[in-house]
A and B are shown apart, each in its own frame.
Chain A
Amino acid sequence: MIKWAVIVWILPLLSFFFVLIFNKKLPRGGDYFSLGTIFIGLFLSVKLFTEALLNGAQYSENWSFTWIPLGKYSIQFDLHFDIVTAVMFLVVTIVSSLVHLYSVGYMKGDPKYGRFFAYLSIFSFSMLGLVLSGSLIGLYIFWELVGLSSYLLIGFWHERHPPAEASKKAFITNRVGDVGMLLGILITFAILGDLNIHSIGEKVAAGKVSQSTLTLIGLLLFCGAVGKSAQFPLHVWLPDAMEGPTPVSALIHAATMVAAGVYLVARIFPLLTPEAGLIIAFVGGFTAFFAATIAIAQYDIKKVLAYSTVSQLGYMIMALGVGSYTAGLFHLTTHAFFKACLFLCSGSVIHAMHHSLHHIHSHADPQDMRNMGGMKKKMPITFWTMFIATIAISGVPFTSGFLSKDAILGGTLAYAMEHGGISWILVFFGFVTAGMTAFYMFRILFKTFYGEFRSGPKAEEVLHESPKTMTIPLILLAVLSFYLWFTLPNVNPFSTHGWYESYTITPEKAYEKTIIIHNQSNINLSNTFENQHQLKAKDEKQHSETFNSTHSNQQHSVHHSAHILAMISSLIVAGLGILISWLTFYKQTISSDKVKSSLGAFYQGMYNKWWIDEIYEGTVIQFTMLMTKISAWFDTYIIDGIVNGTAAITRVFSDGTGIFDNRIIDGLVNGLANTIGWFGKSIRKIQTGNIQRYLLSSSVVLGVVLLIIVVRTIFY
């Protein structure tokens, strides 16, 4: 089966090379190669997915081969395929293929049309490789490669400055996170000499790593996720990345690549210690809250969505941090669809706006919501699909977002109940963010599709719905935003309990296994361990039912009560958010200007993204530039100065020697010769005095030498 996965993975690579090299020579830039490969991939992924489900929750396959032979040992290249991989494959191929399809319409007429598809292909390859990797080094490789494809795609319209700038920013910011990840890998390798995630887990379980080191490793690896999943404080690149074409934003910067960080945390989940988990949860929670505050105050439709993405990713990270593994992954999956849908809808809107504004020769920003409004009539499909996605992200029942968000909030609440103390802050983050999310998402909806069109009637006339290649993906994605797809065979819209929850089993914490091995006392957990072994043989249905029983009873009850509480609270919060939004932007009973002014500096902070970019500009970037200047100055003036100075000193010495040898002696002599006029012309010519001087010098030196010798001999 993994062989098929490899085929799915490799196909886009072939398409990348082929399209990249031949796109100028092929009709339609060879987009059908990219489309073809990704749709084949989608088909195979579905097949893989179903097969994986049929194989049961414990299904996994590995394939490894020697990649870097070092003589004494070698570094393996590991591929790992399990249910989570299968789900990710499905998510990636679905979103990717729909975005491919959408791009056919969206990118039509672009001079670099073919190249765009090549880049999409390399992205698909990298992303699939990332989820397929079974070792940290493999993850890191594809981690960087998705970074590359992201760089290429953000900077796709590099003829303009902002995309070029944004692409660079994205790559470098990601590299900062990657450094942390790399360090984590280095420490792991130094301690365990192994990079396969599975065997790392086993070695950790065998107690080869101290808990504090494990925390460090976990947090360093998490740095990678901070970069890639745009968590605070490395979130700054993601909003800028919206300079890329909108399909790219949908695919990479909303649905898949940015989720790679979440995926990474999920993969290393067994390695995370409670301390690491807490910090991760806080980073995630804070990011969720922080980004939401910014999203509220933005006018660029894609910027709002971008900050919303940051916020949602924060949610997922928080979920994993608090140990709600399934919830985190679940939200990753559901978010992928509705966020892709939202972006593509915004793309559709922007596309339309662009044409309209172009028509009236306006240079207004087609992405600014202040130029939109009332587009519902002209673009019904876009509106309705966007509406569905919006309620999904806001957490309205019957949508997938409701379930997954609820799972996260429930998990967080349970965590807070269990741990108490500062972990309640996480709950605060979670619920407030949920409300704000509903608020700003509906703000988009109202500002874009309701009210008056604000760019003039001339432009409104030419507004039109996007072509089929664009709307079909929208519809499909909207459909996928309903709950049912994720809870089958369960049809209860208020329960996450379905195939997803049953098959994505929370892996055990490796360090806990250590306790088992060392103490042999925790019967409860060891039972779990055994149970799971037995479960392998069992039928999947039975398994799904019995799964929960493997959790400790206490945890289970906490989860259950938290779940219900969270669900109710989140519904209230989301409802409040929507209501306020409705009052503000539709009914306009609440004046947004008044609110703005009353918020004062707080609003300015939200509007200016809390000046994070400016802070970086003033600190990190200034510092780096200062370092470069100092280095360059040091190099030119100090080091090279010393080198040239040595040469200069030698020159001075040599001149001095020359002067001593020629000029002083000759000069003295010439002067002398001139004064002794009566010596006659001929004598002056041959400079008798000259030779006298020479001889004198020699004799003086000789005399000095003799003196030294004599003195030395006498005094020794």
Chain B
Amino acid sequence: MGVLTIITFFPLVGALVLLFIPKEQKNFIRWLTAATTFIPFLLATWLIFQYDGTKIGVNDPNSFQFVERYNWINAFNIQYYVGVDGISFPMLWLTTLLSFLCIFASWNIEKSVKGYMMLFLLLETGMVGTFIALDFFLFYVFWEIMLLPMYFLIGIWGGPRRIYAAIKFFLYTLAGSVLMLLVMIVLYQNVIDPKTGKHTFDMVLMMNQANHSEWLVKSGTFWGYGIRYVLWFALFIGFAIKVPIFPFHTWLPDAHVEAPTAISVILAGILLKMGTYGLLRINYAIFPDTSNYFCQFLAILGVINILYGAFCAMAQKDLKKLVAYSSISHMGYVLLGMSSLTVAGINGGVLQMFSHGVITAMLFLLVGVVYDRAHHREIQGFGGIGAVVPIYMGMTAIAFFASLGLPGMSGFIAEVLVFLGSYQTWPVYTMIAVFGIIITAAYLLWTIQRIFFGPLNEKYKDLPEINGRELFTLIPLAAITILVGVYPHPVLNIISGSLNHLIEVVKNPLISVATYGF
């Protein structure tokens, strides 16, 4: 049993252990969960030092790292096949980190702690599994496994409209993923493992167009459209819902607003990234030709996301909703970077995935902090509390400035790289998108002003300052943001090899778009 498997299933084992602990032992359950999430984090951190940045992964089966491969379902050649490369590894690490920190952010949960923690651990297994799976079937199973705990975590521990939000999230995401299921099956039937001659779910083999069937490459159509376009699009919708890409984004503000703090963190920090991760890992690598064809479309959506998300964020009165819309805006940068197919753009995009994961986690944690104290999130309802809670204001300022792409923070490098790269491919779109940084600055600073500045709202003159536990969740994230912002080598060294290779794959597909019609 390899280390990736341990990282994946350790939380699940922890959840099963929790089953046998009496639910009255709330603190013990909390500490046990914290310990359970800490082990995967430690292991993942240890893996950073074992990671070899020169191995590229992507579509080369020999250069994935920490690979484990067992036959699972022989009848369909389904394997338990896991491994990481530059695209997945940073996300894996981030997942373990945020999961660990979120346990502390969930410390205040009093309502059926045991159930909460068990679901949370199950969620972690699902998330980690999704990032490391290299077998499509396995990927899909993990992908869906995330849904259930998420549904309950929002639905049971959420805010007043939690039921609506939970079901909206659930249905939306499921609608996307069932399309993925169909594509997965079509791919299975049209990809043959050259060694055994059998059909396969092996994603890495799917990435080699030489293994694709004649039907998949040329002759297939669906209602008159070339099959590759249709499949690409079906996958795209599945991932677009997760990202979320306009116009599939409306589940996100609702889910975020209603979810408890820690779940918002996970949702924004990890789950959104699965969409873009899926696009890179599956759409880009398996249908490079089609992705190449559609990347302008992606770029346009990216620009829309950036600006539309920012404008919507500005209009929000609820702090959490504002942060939620800002996530939509920031995920637009990822799309724009990805779509550029340039070294800087795609590296920037993936760095943005990582960076936004950290920053948005901070933002949601901070919203949680103030919500715990004031019991509301109306931006207008505060005012001048900076005088009462300077440390909290400081942390918020760090997070906000990181979010608006201040140099010295990871968001800046990511955004600048995205722009540098995307301008080379899409000058006009980039020129429009750049204005997003003004709007972002506007709504974030305006928010800071409305909450912290001005005369103190007397209602909050005794507002308690942020406490040690909360700082414990925030400081590591702030440190990462700044560290990566100043010295991005650790992340970029891991991702760049794989991503640069991915660009080559997409730019020079074995088959070209011209061979089939749209």
| CB-based contact A72/B500 at 8 Å | yes
Among B427, B439, B454, B488, point to the contact of A624 (Cβ < 8 A): B439
Q: A155-180: which residues lie under 8 A (CB-CB) from chain B?
A: 155, 158-161, 163-165, 167-168, 171-172, 175-176, 178-179
Chain B proximity of A79: nearest CB distance (Å): 15
Q: Which chain A residues lie closer than 8 Å to B435 at the CB level? A: 179
Number of A-B contacts (CB under 8 A): 150
Residue among B347, B419, B420, B454 with max Cβ neighbours from chain A (10 Å): B420
| CB-based contact B406/A148 at 8 Å | yes
- 4 tightest Cβ-Cβ pairs between the two chains A and B: A71-B496, A632-B315, A164-B453, A631-B311
Cα distance, A161 to B455, chains bound together (Å): 7
Cβ-based interface call for B250 (8 A): yes
B387, closest chain A residue (CB): A159
Among A67, A148, A627, A639, point to the contact of B311 (Cβ < 8 A): A627
Q: A638-657: which residues lie under 8 A (CB-CB) from chain B?
A: 639-640, 642-643
A190 with B423: in contact, given A68-B413, A68-B488 (CB under 8 Å)?
yes
Chain B proximity of A210: nearest CB distance (Å): 15
Cβ-based interface call for B430 (8 A): yes
Chain B 418-446 per-residue mask, 1 if CB under 8 angstroms from chain A, else 0: 01100110010011001101110110011
Chain A proximity of B44: nearest CB distance (Å): 22
Q: Which chain B residues lie closer than 8 Å to A640 at the CB level? A: 250
| CB-based contact A175/B438 at 8 Å | yes
Among B406, B430, B445, B493, point to the contact of A172 (Cβ < 8 A): B445
Among B419, B446, B453, B500, point to the contact of A182 (Cβ < 8 A): B419
Cβ-based interface call for B55 (8 A): no
| CB-based contact A189/B423 at 8 Å | yes
B503, closest chain A residue (CB): A72
Q: B54-90: which residues lie under 8 A (CB-CB) from chain A?
A: none
Among A179, A186, A631, point to the contact of B315 (Cβ < 8 A): A631
Q: B318-356: which residues lie under 8 A (CB-CB) from chain A?
A: 343-344, 347
| CB-based contact A71/B343 at 8 Å | yes
| CB-based contact B454/A628 at 8 Å | no
Chain A proximity of B414: nearest CB distance (Å): 10
B453, closest chain A residue (CB): A164
Q: Which chain B residues lie closer than 8 Å to A167 at the CB level? A: 445, 449
Chain A proximity of B261: nearest CB distance (Å): 23
Cβ-based interface call for A142 (8 A): yes
Cβ-based interface call for B10 (8 A): no
Q: Which chain A residues lie closer than 8 Å to B448 at the CB level? A: 168
Chain A proximity of B405: nearest CB distance (Å): 8
Cβ-based interface call for A515 (8 A): no
A190 with B311: in contact, given A68-B413, A158-B454, A639-B250 (CB under 8 Å)?
no
What is the interface of chain B, defined by CB distance below 8 A to chain A? 168, 172, 246-247, 249-251, 308, 311-312, 314-316, 343-344, 347, 384, 386-387, 401, 406-408, 412-413, 416-417, 419-420, 423-424, 427, 430-431, 434-435, 437-439, 441-442, 445-446, 448-449, 452-456, 488-489, 492-493, 496-497, 499-500
Chain A 184-202 per-residue mask, 1 if CB under 8 angstroms from chain B, else 0: 0111011000000000000
Cβ-based interface call for A537 (8 A): no
Cβ-based interface call for A629 (8 A): yes
Q: Which chain A residues lie closer than 8 Å to B431 at the CB level? A: 183
Residue among B311, B448, B500 with max Cβ neighbours from chain A (10 Å): B311
Cα distance, A471 to B235, chains bound together (Å): 71
Listed by A's residue number, 27 A-B pairs whose Cβ atoms lie within 8 Å are A68-B492, A70-B492, A71-B347, A75-B344, A75-B420, A137-B416, A145-B408, A148-B401, A159-B384, A164-B453, A168-B442, A168-B446, A175-B438, A179-B437, A182-B419, A182-B437, A183-B431, A189-B420, A190-B423, A624-B314, A627-B311, A628-B312, A628-B314, A632-B312, A635-B308, A639-B246, A643-B172
Q: Which chain B residues lie closer than 8 Å to A171 at the CB level? A: 441, 445
Q: Which chain B residues lie closer than 8 Å to A161 at the CB level? A: 453-455
Q: Which chain A residues lie closer than 8 Å to B423 at the CB level? A: 183, 186-187, 189-190
| CB-based contact B315/A70 at 8 Å | no
Cα distance, A163 to B434, chains bound together (Å): 27
Q: Which chain B residues lie closer than 8 Å to A116 at the CB level? A: none
Chain A proximity of B213: nearest CB distance (Å): 34
Chain A proximity of B247: nearest CB distance (Å): 5
Cα distance, A182 to B438, chains bound together (Å): 12
Interface size of A by Cβ–Cβ distance < 8 Å?
53
Q: Which chain A residues lie closer than 8 Å to B446 at the CB level? A: 168
Q: SS class of chain A's interface: helix, strand, loop or mixed? A: helix
A172 with B456: in contact, given A158-B386, A159-B384, A640-B250 (CB under 8 Å)?
no
Chain A proximity of B441: nearest CB distance (Å): 5
Q: A78-118: which residues lie under 8 A (CB-CB) from chain B?
A: none
Chain A 604-636 per-residue mask, 1 if CB under 8 angstroms from chain B, else 0: 000000000000000000001101111110010
B454, closest chain A residue (CB): A161
B445, closest chain A residue (CB): A168
Cα distance, A68 to B418, chains bound together (Å): 13
Chain B proximity of A708: nearest CB distance (Å): 23
Among A165, A168, A635, point to the contact of B250 (Cβ < 8 A): A635
Cα distance, A190 to B249, chains bound together (Å): 32
| CB-based contact A71/B499 at 8 Å | yes
B431, closest chain A residue (CB): A183
B443, closest chain A residue (CB): A628
Cα distance, A182 to B312, chains bound together (Å): 24
Cβ-based interface call for A508 (8 A): no
A159 with B407: in contact, given A69-B489, A71-B500, A189-B420 (CB under 8 Å)?
no
Cα distance, A66 to B487, chains bound together (Å): 10
Q: A129-153: which residues lie under 8 A (CB-CB) from chain B?
A: 137, 140-142, 144-145, 148, 151
Q: Which chain A residues lie closer than 8 Å to B386 at the CB level? A: 158-159
Q: A71-B499, A75-B417, A172-B445 are in contact. List 13 more A-B contacts (CB 8 A).
A: A66-B489, A72-B496, A159-B387, A164-B453, A168-B445, A168-B446, A171-B441, A175-B438, A190-B424, A631-B308, A639-B247, A643-B168, A643-B251
Cα distance, A144 to B435, chains bound together (Å): 15
Chain A proximity of B305: nearest CB distance (Å): 12
Cα distance, A165 to B455, chains bound together (Å): 12
| CB-based contact B343/A72 at 8 Å | yes
Chain A proximity of B316: nearest CB distance (Å): 7
Q: Which chain A residues lie closer than 8 Å to B456 at the CB level? A: 159
Cα distance, A458 to B434, chains bound together (Å): 56
B328, closest chain A residue (CB): A635
B246, closest chain A residue (CB): A639
| CB-based contact B416/A628 at 8 Å | no
Q: Which chain B residues lie closer than 8 Å to A75 at the CB level? A: 344, 417, 420
| CB-based contact B492/A69 at 8 Å | yes
Residue among B246, B445, B500 with max Cβ neighbours from chain A (10 Å): B445
| CB-based contact B454/A164 at 8 Å | yes
A629, closest chain B residue (CB): B315
Among A144, A185, A627, point to the contact of B407 (Cβ < 8 A): A144
Residue among A68, A163, A172, A627 with max Cβ neighbours from chain B (10 Å): A68
Q: Which chain B residues lie closer than 8 Å to A164 at the CB level? A: 449, 453-454
A626, closest chain B residue (CB): B311
A173, closest chain B residue (CB): B438
Cα distance, A83 to B184, chains bound together (Å): 64
A147, closest chain B residue (CB): B406
Q: Which chain B residues lie closer than 8 Å to A632 at the CB level? A: 311-312, 315-316
Cβ-based interface call for A679 (8 A): no
Q: Which chain A residues lie closer than 8 Å to B500 at the CB level? A: 70-72
Q: Which chain B residues lie closer than 8 Å to A72 at the CB level? A: 343, 496, 500
Q: Which chain B residues lie closer than 8 Å to A639 at the CB level? A: 246-247, 249-250
Chain A proximity of B424: nearest CB distance (Å): 5
A640, closest chain B residue (CB): B250
Residue among A67, A155, A175, A640 with max Cβ neighbours from chain B (10 Å): A175
A143, closest chain B residue (CB): B407
Cα distance, A624 to B384, chains bound together (Å): 25
A145 with B406: in contact, given A172-B441, A183-B434, A624-B442 (CB under 8 Å)?
yes
| CB-based contact A70/B343 at 8 Å | yes
Q: Which chain B residues lie closer than 8 Å to A635 at the CB level? A: 250, 308, 312
